[in-house]
């Protein structure tokens, strides 16, 4: 019996830290986790890009004498996320908006 808890033993310990109890399931989980990690990296990159674009908009708005934040536009964004993702989408949108413009 191995002292490495990330492998299985004859008593049904999980495989490779996946929570799976078969090699086949562990392989599926590992592959899917790799895909999720890749998607998360892309999502983070898109949020960073959105932050940069938002900064351009805020700068243009403020330079022209306007306010940094346009609440009616933010309501549109909240509605879009909510419609696409349900109630949790609203929370996600609020977090994205805060990342892009800071707290109001």
Report the alpha-carbon distance of residue 87 to residue 78 in Å, rounded: 10
Instruction: Identify which has the larger pLDDT, 2 or 14.
Output: 14
Task: Please determine, for residue 99, whether its predicted confidence score (pLDDT) is greater than 60.
Answer: yes
How do residues 53-94 score in pLDDT, each as one tens digit?
A: 999 999 999 999 999 999 999 999 999 999 999 999 999 999
**What confidence score (pLDDT) does residue 4 get?**
46
**Domain residues of the chain, as ranges?**
40-101
DSSP character string of the chain: --S-TTS--TT-PPBTTTTBSSHHHHHHHHHHHHHHHHHHHHHHHHHHHHHHHHHHHHHHHHHTT--S--HHHHHHHHHHHHHHH-HHHHHHHHHHHHHHH---
Is 50 exceeded by the pLDDT of residue 46? yes
* Right CATH for 40-101 from 3.40.50.10330, 1.20.59.10, 1.10.3720.10, 3.40.718.10: 1.20.59.10
């Amino acid at each position: 019996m191995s002292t490495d808890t990330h492998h299985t033993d004859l008593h049904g310990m999980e495989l490779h830290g996946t929570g799976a109890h078969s090699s086949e399931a562990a392989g599926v989980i590992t592959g899917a986790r790799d895909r999720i990690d890749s998607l998360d990296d892309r999502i983070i990159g898109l949020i960073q890009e959105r932050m940069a674009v938002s900064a351009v908009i805020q700068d243009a708005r403020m330079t022209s004498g306007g306010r940094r934040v346009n609440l009616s536009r933010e309501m549109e964004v909240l509605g879009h996320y909510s419609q696409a993702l349900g109630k949790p989408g609203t929370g996600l949108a609020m977090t994205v908006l805060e990342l892009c413009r800071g707290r109001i």
